[in-house]
Amino acid sequence: MIMSLKLFEYLNKIFMFNGWEIPLIVLLALLFFGGKKLPELARGFGESIRTVKKEIQGINDDTQAIKQELDEVKAATKIDLSEETAKPSSKSKSK
Domain ranges of the chain: 2-71
pLDDT by residue for the chain (95 residues), tens only, comes to 455 667 767 766 776 666 777 788 888 888 888 878 888 888 888 899 899 999 999 999 999 999 999 988 888 887 665 555 555 555 555 54
Q: What is the pLDDT of residue 79?
A: 67
HEC profile of the chain: CHHHHHHHHHHHHHHCCCCCHHHHHHHHHHHHHHHHHHHHHHHHHHHHHHHHHHHHHHHHHHHHHHHHHHHHHHHHCCCCCHHHHHCCCCCCCCC
Distance CA 8, CA 17 (A): 9
Q: What is the pLDDT of residue 4?
A: 64
Q: What is the pLDDT of residue 1?
A: 47
Q: What is the pLDDT of residue 89?
A: 56
At residue 53, what is the residue type? K
At residue 68, what is the residue type? Q
